[in-house]
């Protein structure tokens, strides 16, 4: 194999690995938020990462800036066994450019509160900016646009 061919293949494999690794960040985000693993959840973001949640008509729900605020935000949430949530991310469209990436995806949150039957809590869209630092991908900013909230 010529050196040029090898470099081309390495680039293609790197791109597939980057997309896979970003998918892993999304999965770890869901597991850690849903089981209240504060430190691991905050660690899905960069040190100065932003989590900005707002409704589709532009009303602020909450916004955290930096791992310290993210850690405290999750510490204030109801968690298992009082409440079970499942943050499901679907239809990710990921565009990697070197050490930065943009992603757009759907989120659907399934919930059960105080032993209730399961229901769909909220759903909407994530718009993410990610960066690769030290070989690892992090969320630099997650915009969570909430389109529907429960009637209950």
Min dist. Cβ of residue 65 to another protein (A): 25
- Which of residues 30 and 46 has its CB atom nearest to another protein in the complex? 30
CB of 68 to another protein, least distance (A): 25
Nearer to another protein, 2 or 93 (CB): 2
108 vs 143, beta carbon nearer another protein: 108
Secondary structure E strands in the chain: 45-55, 60-65, 83-97, 100-113, 119-133, 136-148
On the 0-12 / 13-18 / 19+ scale of CB atoms within 10 A, 66 is middle
C-alpha separations of 75 from 85, 108, 137, 148 in Å: 15, 21, 24, 24
Residues forming the site for another protein (CB under 8 A): 1-3, 5-6, 9-10, 13, 16-17, 20, 24, 26-28, 30-31, 34, 80-81, 84, 86-90, 110, 112, 115-120
């Amino acid at each position: 194999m010529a050196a040029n061919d090898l470099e081309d293949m390495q680039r293609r494999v790197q791109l597939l690995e980057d997309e896979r690794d970003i998918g892993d960040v999304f999965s770890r985000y869901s597991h850690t938020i849903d089981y209240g693993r504060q430190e691991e959840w905050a660690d899905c973001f960069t040190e100065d990462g932003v989590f900005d949640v707002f409704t589709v008509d532009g009303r602020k729900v909450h916004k955290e800036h930096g791992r310290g605020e993210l850690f405290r935000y999750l510490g204030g949430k109801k968690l298992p066994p009082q409440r079970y949530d499942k943050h499901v991310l679907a239809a990710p469209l990921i565009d990697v450019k070197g050490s930065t990436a943009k992603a757009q995806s759907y989120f659907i949150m399934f919930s059960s509160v105080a032993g209730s039957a399961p229901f769909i809590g909220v759903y909407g869209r994530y718009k993410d900016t990610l960066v690769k630092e030290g070989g690892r991908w992090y969320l630099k900013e997650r915009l969570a646009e909430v389109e529907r909230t429960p009637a209950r």
